[in-house]
Structure 1
Amino acid sequence: MNLFQLRAFDAVAREGSFTRAAERLFISQPAVTGHVKALEDHYQITLLRRTARRVELTEEGTRLAAITRAMFGLAEEARAMLEANRQLLTGRLEVAADGPHRVMPMLASLRARYPGVTVNLRLGNAQETLAALTAEHVDVAVMTEVEPRKGLHLHPLSASHICALVPAAHPWAGHTLDLAQLHQQIMVLREPHSITRRTFDQACAQAGVVPRVLLELDSREAVTEAVAAQLGIGIVSSVEVGHDPRVVAVPLRGQGLENRHMIGCLERRRELRLIRAFFELAPPV
């Protein structure tokens, strides 16, 4: 069995792309393609389907990917253990986050301390970020409102608070509001799967507050634009407040208006040197 061919297949399975697999392995794309084709030809099996947009695993490919992910994951842990006493001069860290505001200062600290380390950052929603971590597509993740579970190591970060977002000229700008003041107010909110929206909805339900939702939008930027256009009041996390002069974030008083943030990694990989170095950069709670 050719380990180079298995390594190439594993990289394509993880990345969903021959191009990104080549970048991951620091070899050419034709080399990756050749290794995978040789593996398929030798065992007379189809492991991957090439579509116009991406590469997809067949049923047999999915089964093999589960094996190679575990196999090369263990090989990486062995390598990391053997190099545990070496200084972090080089390396590659795969990071996922459900928003840029928490993770960017940590990446800046990582670059300042370990300038030779390359970071690949994936931004997505909360579900995508957790899925990337549990599927071992990334090494560490900065997440919101994740419940403890077996096999997952979590380190808390400071909590954020839900704020109302209003136009700069709004009478509420510069004040603090009670959640009850949003009852029957026209609002423009993120989609229901958003963590910020979910926390806000739960707090409203608990307090008996019923806002009038005019628009549901799929990004923080869209909410900001809608509020600036005076289409309604928005909701934003305190860690996501930008510097747009058209809008103002107004603190809200009420129960259940906090979100918990944390750094996570797989429990069995928490002692890997580069992962441990990233956790050490977490700001104090």
Structure 2
Amino acid sequence: MNLFQLRAFDAVAREGSFTRAAARLFISQPAVTGHIKTLEEHYQITLLRRTARRVELTEEGIKLAAITRAMFGLVDEAQVMLEANRQLLTGRLEVAADGPHMVMPMLASLRARYPGITVNLRLGNAQETLAALLSEHVDVAVLTEIEPRKGLTLRPLVESRICALVPASHPWLALPEGIDIAQLDQIIMVLREPTSITRRTFDEACDKAGVNPRVLLELDSREAVTEAVAAQLGVGIVSSIEVSHDPRVGAVPIKGEGLANRHMLGCMERRAELRLIKAFMALAPEHTP
């Protein structure tokens, strides 16, 4: 069995692209293609489907990718252990986050300290971010409202509060202490999808307070909520750490129970001592108010 061929396949499975796999391995794209073609021909198996826009794993490819991910993950850990005394001059860190606002200052701190480190950042919702970490598609993740679980190392970052997002001309913006959650009863609102952590927290707080907003729109991004509020389609909600600087809208604090979210930095416990992951996790205290 040729490990170069398996390494090429593993890189394509991780990156979903021959071009990005070649960059990951520091070899040419034709070399990656040749390794995988030889592997498929030798074992008379189809591992990848190539379309005009993307590369997809076949059923057999998915099974092999699970093996190679674990295998080369151990190889990477061995290399890190053997180079533990070297300075962090080079390296690649895979990061996931459920929003850009907290992770960007941390990446800036990492770059200032270790300018040779390359970072790949994935942004997604809370479920996608946690899934990426647990499946070890990423090394570290910024998570919201995650409960402690076996095998997961967590460091606290910050607690945010949910605010009402209103048009810039809205009278609520003149209230220095904000509004009570009861004032949102029967108010027309434009909200994130129910699976959003911010939406879920808001819905639970409304249930406890006996508040029933009138949901006009459910949207799949913070940007879409901002646009809907700016168009005066309704009142939105936003985390206090994600308040937009858009002059068309403004954030108003909401007073009430259960309107806070905890944000944490996490990694897999068995990989917590890897030098690059450890260096990034050490940034948590610096970014905790």
Amino acid at match of 1:136: E
Q: Is the Cα–Cα contact under 8 Å of residues 185 and 233 in structure 1 kept in the other structure?
A: yes
- 1:187 and 1:213 in contact (8 A); partners too: yes
Q: Is the 8 A contact 1:174 1:250 kept in 2?
A: no
What is the CA distance between 1:57 and its match in structure 2? 1.7
The aligned counterpart of 2:204 is 202
Distance 1:196 1:28 in 2: 44
**Cross-structure match for 1:131:** 131
Distance of 2:240 and 2:193 partners within structure 1: 18
CA distance in 1, matches of 2:149, 2:7: 30
Q: How does 1:1-285 map to 2 (within 5 A)?
A: 1-175=1-175, 176-282=178-284, 283-285=287-289
What percent of counterpart residues are identical?
A: 82
Deviation at 1:268, TM superposition (A): 0.8
Secondary structure of the structure 2 residue equivalent to 1:173: helix
CA contact (8 A) 1:143 1:264 kept: yes
CA distance in 1, matches of 2:174, 2:68: 56
Q: Any idea what the Cα deviations from partners look like across 1:161-210, whole Å, max 9, x if unmatched?
A: 10001112211114211111100001111111211111111111111100
Deviation (angstroms), 1:13: 1.1
Q: Secondary structure at the match of 2:258?
A: coil
Backbone CA RMSD of aligned residues: 1.2
Cα distance in 2 for residues equivalent to 1:259 and 1:24: 36
Amino acid at match of 1:115: P
CA distance in 1, matches of 2:136, 2:21: 15
* Structure 2, gaps ≥5 residues long: none
**Alignment partners' CA distance in 1, 2:271 and 2:185:** 47
Structure 1 segments (4+ residues) deviating >6 Å: none
Q: TM-score, normalization: structure 2?
A: 0.95
